[in-house]
Amino acid sequence: MERSALPAGGRILLTGATGQVGGELLETLKPLGEVVAPSRANMDLANTASVRETIRAVRPRWIVNPGAYTAVDKAESEPELAYAVNAEAVRVMGQEARAIGAGVIHFSTDYVFDGSASAPYRETDSTRPVSVYGASKLAGERALAESGAGHMIFRTSWVYGARGKNFLLTILKLARERERLRVVADQYGAPTWSRDLARMTAEVIGQCEADVRGFELATFLFDTGQTYHAAGAGETTWYGFAAEAVRLQREKEPGTRFAAIEAITTLEYPTPAKRPANSRMNGARLMERFGWKMMDWRDSLREVLAEL
């Protein structure tokens, strides 16, 4: 499909550039135009005044927001901070974007669902978060929708990559240090490579710019912007992900001793925040609108391991 860069002088304001997805977006968005990626000191998502001031100073054409409070368990004891970053900051982004006609791309999560469905979740399925983190992310989705800004929301799951803190890197570290690792095997989903998510975002922005054709961006997004599920293809469990990662790493390092991976139930690994048992997400809408299919988690895993 046709892609286009931003109009002359157009800017992309990127939050969370030091995070997993933000770091990848910093690279994938550069070919589209100027990317402004303020540090937390210059744009504190927990401070709505800071968010508002930054947007007014930058006057972006797009706001891309992977920045979030993601400490799922800690959120249970820090709900005010979780809501400040995941909901109130997003509300301000929407208000300011509407005022200048900017588009907003916001990243959300499988945690907006309770995980009780038997099939992969579609965008139209009822949301019912079971954790503070999930509830705060859903509040952010609703705040953005209510702001009147032209926007798109990408829900994703189990994000990982070669940088930052994530399940894969933790498992590989512990597998070198211990003889046995016990990993939950009754929560289903698909790992999502942060770079695949970033590439998809750049592709979507490029297609939107090509399709605008003289219309105001906000007006265009009112007609085409909506919520999309953008998680890795295929499915597995946390145990399946860990076991496959360690198996592949053993092939790369035949002389290294790695831990045995053992399957356990969620009940055997209690956490402060409840996790969805089913985090599988249907990506058909993303494919139909933008022609983008997220990578199968097995393929992305091999690519990430090759970078380590």
Confidence of residue 9 (pLDDT cuts 50, 70, 90): confident
Distances (CA, A) of 2 to 209, 228, 294: 9, 20, 19
Which of 162, 167, 197, 201 minimizes the C-alpha distance to 181?
167
Q: Residue 143 pLDDT > 90, yes or no?
A: yes
What's the average model confidence in pLDDT over 280-290?
A: 97
What's the average model confidence in pLDDT over 30-54?
A: 97
Buried b (16+ CB within 10 A) or exposed e, 51-62: bbebbeebbbbb
Whether residue 252 is contained in a domain is answered as: no
What's the average model confidence in pLDDT over 62-81?
A: 98
Whether residue 92 is contained in a domain is answered as: yes
* pLDDT tens digit sequence for 213-230: 777 898 899 877 799 999
Using CA atoms, how far apart are residues 17 and 27, in angstroms rounded to an integer? 10
**Three-state secondary-structure class, residue 209:** helix
Q: Residue 1 pLDDT > 70, yes or no?
A: no
Catalytic residue among 69, 111, 133, 160: 133
Whether residue 89 is contained in a domain is answered as: yes
Q: Which two tokens stand for residue 17?
A: 């550039």
Q: How far is CA 149 from the centre of its chain?
A: 20
Please say if 133 is a catalytic residue: yes
Domain count, the chain: 1
Question: Do 71 and 109 form a contact (C-beta atoms < 8 A)?
Answer: no
Buried b (16+ CB within 10 A) or exposed e, 101-116: ebbbbbbbbbbbbbbe
Predicted local distance difference test score (pLDDT) of residue 224:
77
Using CA atoms, how far apart are residues 15 and 13, in angstroms rounded to an integer? 7
Bridge partner residues of 231 (DSSP): none
What's the average model confidence in pLDDT over 121-140?
A: 98
- The rounded percent of the chain whose pLDDT value lies above 70 is 99
What's the average model confidence in pLDDT over 7-15?
A: 93
Whether residue 259 is contained in a domain is answered as: no
Confidence of residue 42 (pLDDT cuts 50, 70, 90): very high
| CATH code, 56 | 3.40.50.720
Pairing of strands 260-264, 180-184: parallel
| DSSP characters over 249-307 | HHHH-TTS--PEEEEE-GGGS--SS---SB--B--HHHHHHH---PPBHHHHHHHHHHH
Predicted local distance difference test score (pLDDT) of residue 3:
81
Whether residue 224 is contained in a domain is answered as: yes
Whether residue 199 is contained in a domain is answered as: yes
Q: How many CB atoms lie within 10 A of CB 148?
A: 14
* pLDDT tens digit sequence for 186-195: 999 999 999 9
Whether residue 175 is contained in a domain is answered as: no
What's the average model confidence in pLDDT over 3-12?
A: 89
What's the average model confidence in pLDDT over 237-245?
A: 98
Q: How many helices (H) and strands (E) does the chain have?
A: 11, 12
Using CA atoms, how far apart are residues 229 and 172, in angstroms rounded to an integer? 28
| Backbone angle region of 157, left / alpha / beta, with phi > 0 → left and psi within -120 to 50 → alpha | beta
User: What range does the domain containing 36 cover?
Assistant: 11-165+192-234+276-296
Whether residue 244 is contained in a domain is answered as: no
